[in-house]
Structures are given as structure tokens and as C-alpha cells.
Chains A and B, each alone.
Chain A
């Protein structure tokens, strides 16, 4: 079955450490997205990519970085510059002619 796979499901970060969240899709979608979800704040867009080797900042990109070397993959790195990284991170994808975004099951990041 086609879908979006996020790993790991739970991740812990030490102070000063960078961590990378994985997002893989086999839906053949061109566009991919990363959202951050905090209680009571809904989802906020971190980065998005409309095509391989291209990506743009969303509303809250500071402290995060991404790459898009393959159509299927859009990893998110939470850097040490992100001072409040504890959140639920969701990856999504969509095709150009399909407005709805399809979501993965998320990664919960916590600070040790």
C-alpha cells in the first residue's frame, strides 16, 4: 500500500545535539512538507519542497534544516539552534493536481 513512513516514532535529543527525522513516501508525490504540532496551536509549517533539489522555508523554519535529494525522501534535521524542539512532527506529501495533503503518523521529539 502507498503511504508516508516517518521514523523513528519517538526520539530524544540531548542538549547541543542535532537530530534527524526521516520521512519517506511511495505515493510518487512531487511536493512534501514538514509540520510541527504543539498542544493548542494546531499545525505550523516548517519547510516544504515542491520538487527534488528545491525547498522553501515555511512559517517557523528557524533552527531546522532539510534536504530533498530524492523524490521519495525529505528528512528534517532539528539543530541545536532550535531551543524548544519538544513537539510532535508530521510529514506530508501531495501531488500537483491534488490539493489534499497525505500525512505520516508522526515523530514525537523530546529533550533529555
Chain B
């Protein structure tokens, strides 16, 4: 069965500092990997995704993530954090269903606080 671990429940960074959110996954085949962001009381917005190919993927809002198969990791990074980045971040691994759609397994999330 697939699973996702986000070891950091809360992270606090200063505005302008760099950010790295950790994600480790367990999946038998080549995974589909995703990072989503959620603002309070809102749905989830896709930041970026990895299906295959280049292991460094670029997303929206200046985020990037690197897939490392040897470490089963898909860490999210941003060079310079803005106060508006404060939110909860979820890593997810996906497996396709036969016939379409996909089953996502989510991590428990990392709450990011940005200090001004």
C-alpha cells in the first residue's frame, strides 16, 4: 500500500529565508507525486507534480521540488519565502485507477508560519 510521511508538523521561517518541506513516500512502482497548499477554510491548490522525466520540477508561486528515488523523497523548496506563503502544505502520492482517475494518498501536512 502507498503511504506518505511528512515528518514536520509545524515549521516557522522568517520572511525572505529559504524553505524546505520534507516528504517521504512508499510506493512499489514509479510514483506520481504532488504538492498541494491549503489556506485556512479553503480547498487544496496544486503547487506542482512529478510524473516522470526531469527530477527537478517547477511549480507555481516560485516553488520547486526534487524527486530522489534513492531516498524515496520529494521535498518542496522555495528560495525566499513571502508572508503570503503561510499555509498548510500537503504531499501526496498517486496511483492510477484502471479506467481513469487516480487514488491519492496524502501526508498529514506541514503547517508553515512566516515571521515578519
Contact = CB atoms under 8 A, between A and B. Distances in A.
Nearest to A30: B100
Contact of B41 (A33, A58, A103, A106): A106
B44 interface: yes
A107 to B, nearest CB: 10
B73 interface: no
Contacts of B45: 103
A40 B9 contact: yes
B106 A96 contact: no
Given A99-B49, A105-B43, A42 B106 contact: yes
B111 to A, nearest CB: 10
Interface stretch (B14-22, B62-70, B74-82, B89-97): B89-97
A42 B102 contact: no
Contacts of B51: 99
A108 B107 CA distance: 20
Contacts of B43: 4, 6, 90, 103-106
B113 to A, nearest CB: 16
A31 B99 CA distance: 10
A95 interface: yes
A43 interface: yes
B61 interface: no
A45 B95 CA distance: 13
B100 A45 contact: no
Nearest to B1: A59
Interface of B: 4, 9, 32, 34, 36, 41-46, 49, 51, 90, 94, 96-97, 99-104, 106-109
28 contacts: A6-B43, A40-B108, A40-B109, A41-B108, A42-B106, A42-B108, A42-B109, A45-B103, A48-B101, A50-B100, A51-B99, A94-B102, A96-B100, A96-B101, A97-B100, A99-B32, A99-B49, A99-B102, A100-B34, A100-B46, A101-B102, A101-B104, A102-B46, A103-B36, A103-B43, A103-B44, A103-B45, A105-B43
Given A40-B108, A99-B102, 7 more contacts: A31-B101, A41-B108, A42-B106, A51-B99, A51-B100, A92-B44, A96-B101
